[in-house]
Amino acid sequence: VAIKLLAVSLDSNDSDMIQRFFAEAQITASLKHPNTIRVFDFGQTEGGALYIAMELLNGKPLADHLDDRAEHDQVLTEEEAIQIGVQTLRSLAEAHMANLVHRDLKPHNIFLHEVVGDDTVVKVLDFGIAKKLGSNMTGTGKAFGTPSYMSPEQAQNRPLDHRSDLYSLGCVLYQCLAGVPPFEGDNPLAV
């Protein structure tokens, strides 16, 4: 297993951070699709550290794979991009059927898991800022996500649904084939 830790003081007043951590654990633990990272256990230690025990993966994030290709002035082939897209969509389909929106789909959160003697398996990671439709867990007035991959409505902190994740995946696939994100800028607001 891999252990994700978040150190917090037992007398910490950051209940929002603790709530988000447990929400990520509960959300991810409820998802069982083979293209989604598996969570086995989560909780808080006596010392106050929050932990999630999850599937240990072998390979690298798509972001690193794209960087490796860029060093050789290469991009992914259409077939490679399609394989990544299809497997990512399978993970998202389960989340969307559970009324969850990932809200931070990007190459860093798509992992290329190497399986000995078999094809690479795409794993969607980090449902840490996922939102259950109809909830307001993350508060108002806050835009969560990574600007280069955020849908316009997400960047404007407007109501979201599963289509926002599809927009983000479109941005990822564009980067797979073009070598750069579709939109870039000097700062998040410019993007």
Q: How many CB atoms lie within 10 A of CB 52?
A: 23
For residues 161 and 159, what is the distance between their CA atoms, to the nearest angstrom? 7
For residues 164 and 156, what is the distance between their CA atoms, to the nearest angstrom? 12
Instruction: Tell me 36's DSSP state.
Output: B
Specify whether 11 is catalytic: no
Catalytic residue among 104, 118, 126, 165: 104
Query: Per the structure block, which two tokens stand in for 113?
Result: 């898991």
Buried b (16+ CB within 10 A) or exposed e, 31-41: bebebbbbbee
DSSP for 101-135, written as a single string: E-S--SGGGEEEE--TTS--EEEE---TT-EETT-
Query: Per the structure block, which two tokens stand in for 36?
Result: 């989604």
User: Which residues carry out catalysis?
Assistant: 104
